[in-house]
Structure 1
Amino acid sequence: MTVVGILHPGSMGAAVAAQASRSGAEILWCPTGRSSATKERALRYGLTAVNDLGELTERAEIILSICPPAHAEEVATEVAAHPFTGIYVDGNAISPASMARVYAILARTGATVVDGSVIGSPPSASKNTRLYLSGPSEGLMPVASLFAGSAVHTHLLPGDVGRASALKLSYSSYQKASRVLAAVAYALASDYGVDEELLDVAQGRTTSYLAETAYIPKVAARSWRWGPEMKEAAYALEEAGLPSDLANAAAAVMSRWDSLKDSSLDIPQVLDHLHAAQDGEPT
């Protein structure tokens, strides 16, 4: 039986860890300092309580860290204070640079550190979740085998730690920001009584812009006039007392494409312009 420790089992962490029990793993958690809601969740998922973090690190062969990203390094430091030499999976939504720091914290204790990213809703009988993994090869397969036949579908990425984290933030930077932008857009439409019409327009589309990569060069070629349009959107939002940060940010991004007016570059060339521009200056 593989023994797995889950740190701070929130709604996602507890659900992911519970899926590992399908392969026969025992799932440990430490109730010290945790809320009553967390304790109820751990009980519901059949997690085994231990006395303290020291017992968890002593018994666990694999530790899963799935917690709020602001606490990822702090949690890693707490684990590093104990003699843990097993596999440590950081499944938090942190940057590649933050992941590198987590790696450095745990690697010096002798642990095998795996970079993980969880994409999707908490796994259940009706929902599957993707777990992307990168890092040392000796750590990847033991983690992947934990979730064989479960609602957590693992995907191994070639390369070092940081790749799984980069994938997570690449996806969430669009997914989360687009949800917020949608809320702001509907707030503005609602102020003018055209929210139902906005919904009607939106329902004419059935795919995500994130999947329409071929459209990126078209956006770049039109940014010379779309950027000012976003500035006007920002003014309208400000007049309505709504946050204009996202609209202004979109305009700032488009300003990096000002020189590409009516161009026909390919995707790599267009994306290079985003990297090359400095201080908001077009290339």
Structure 2
Amino acid sequence: MTTIAILAAGAMGAGMGLRLAEGGATVLTNLDGRGAGSRARAAEAGMRDVPLDDLAGADMILSIVPPGSAVALAERLAPSLRAGARKPAFVDLNAISPATAERVRAALDGTGCPVVDGCIIGAPPKRAGVSPAVYVSGDPAGLTAPLGRHGLDLKPMDAPFGAASGLKLVYAMCTKGVTALAAGMFLGAERRGAGEALRAELDRSQPELVARFGKAMPDMLPKAYRWVAEMREVAAFLGPDDPAAMMFEGAARIYERLAADAEGSGELGRALLGAAARG
């Protein structure tokens, strides 16, 4: 039986843990400092809470954390992995740039653990549900093959380390990037008194966008704080010489503003939901 450790037990981490446990794997996690929500998700998924040092005894470790925490997690685990007798494969599945993925690999240098670059595209798995796509690159030895055997939709890439991270970011350009553009569009129209006319025109000429944005806006608002770092990873991936990088720094600032609004009055969020849903 394959033992797979997952950090952390957020919505995606717990969903992946659930799918792997359903597929026959033993799934470990560490809940030190985690709240009641994480503990409940881990229990529901059948994940076993063990001391941090015990994660080094797994066959594989999956890192599934917010983008801004990816390097810090690798640094936190490095001493245990360096000291452990077993050397599990460390698979970074976060929404980070290839340059940040290299920083993760550098943080684990000297541990003896192979590091694989990866990404997740899709929603967290539900009980008896389908898996999101899990792309991996820089894994010529097929160290991640057990993920496919235990129920994940594994998609190995014949590409070097960093390619999977790049894929995640360019995909995010057409999902989270477009959602940020739509948020700016709706809020700008509302400020200038053009909201009703905009929605009527979209209903007339772009009905597919109306359906998309009507679903995307309520889904985005509670997650906006998590998408700030991801948009900045996209900007870093594109580089300072690419004018599109400025667009994604702007997207990060839109999400930053919406996240701050959610912590405050919620006025912008209510306006955005009303503008996107009105028809």
After TM superposition, the score normalised by the length of structure 1 is: 0.67
**Structure 1 residue 46: Cα displacement:** 0.9
Moved more, 188-197 or 87-96: 188-197
**Structure 1 residue 17: Cα displacement:** 2.2
Q: Deviations over 1:76-95 (max 9, x none)?
A: 11211113511110001111
**Structure 1 residue 3: Cα displacement:** 0.5
Distance in 2, matches of 1:73 and 1:202, equals: 42
Work out the number of aligned pairs and report it: 209
Check the 8 A contact 2:121/2:134 in 1, yes or no. yes
SS of equivalent to 2:6: strand
SS of equivalent to 1:147: helix
Q: Counterpart in 2 of 1:55?
A: 54
Check the 8 A contact 1:131/1:155 in 2, yes or no. yes
Higher RCO, 1 vs 2 (CA within 8 Å, ≥6 residues apart): 2
Q: Counterpart in 2 of 1:81?
A: 79
Check the 8 A contact 1:23/1:146 in 2, yes or no. no
% identity of equivalent residues: 35
Q: Deviations over 1:140-174 (max 9, x none)?
A: 3x423323473x32211112210000011111133
Amino acid at match of 2:55: L
**Structure 1 residue 193: Cα displacement:** 4.2
Residues 254-273 of structure 1 mapped to structure 2, 5 A cutoff: none
Amino acid at match of 1:29: T
Amino acid at match of 2:73: V
Cα distance, 1:24–1:276 mapped onto 2, change above 3 Å: closer
Check the 8 A contact 2:20/2:150 in 1, yes or no. no
Amino acid at match of 1:112: P
Among 133, 140, 152, the alignment partner of 1:130 is 133
Among 100, 106, 121, the alignment partner of 2:123 is 121
Residues 186-201 of structure 1 mapped to structure 2, 5 A cutoff: 186-201=186-201
Check the 8 A contact 1:64/1:89 in 2, yes or no. yes
After TM superposition, the score normalised by the length of structure 2 is: 0.68
SS of equivalent to 1:131: strand
Distance in 2, matches of 1:165 and 1:131, equals: 11
4+ residue runs of structure 1 moved beyond 6 angstroms? Answer: none
CA root-mean-square deviation: 2.6
Q: Counterpart in 1 of 2:163?
A: 163
Amino acid at match of 1:143: T
Check the 8 A contact 2:2/2:59 in 1, yes or no. yes
Q: Deviations over 1:19-39 (max 9, x none)?
A: 112331100011211111111
Larger radius of gyration: 1
Q: Which blocks of at least 5 consecutive residues in structure 2 are unaligned?
A: 210-240, 245-279
Pairing 1:65–2:67 present? no
Q: Which blocks of at least 5 consecutive residues in structure 1 are unaligned?
A: 209-273, 278-283
Cα distance, 1:190–1:62 mapped onto 2, change above 3 Å: same
Check the 8 A contact 1:23/1:147 in 2, yes or no. no
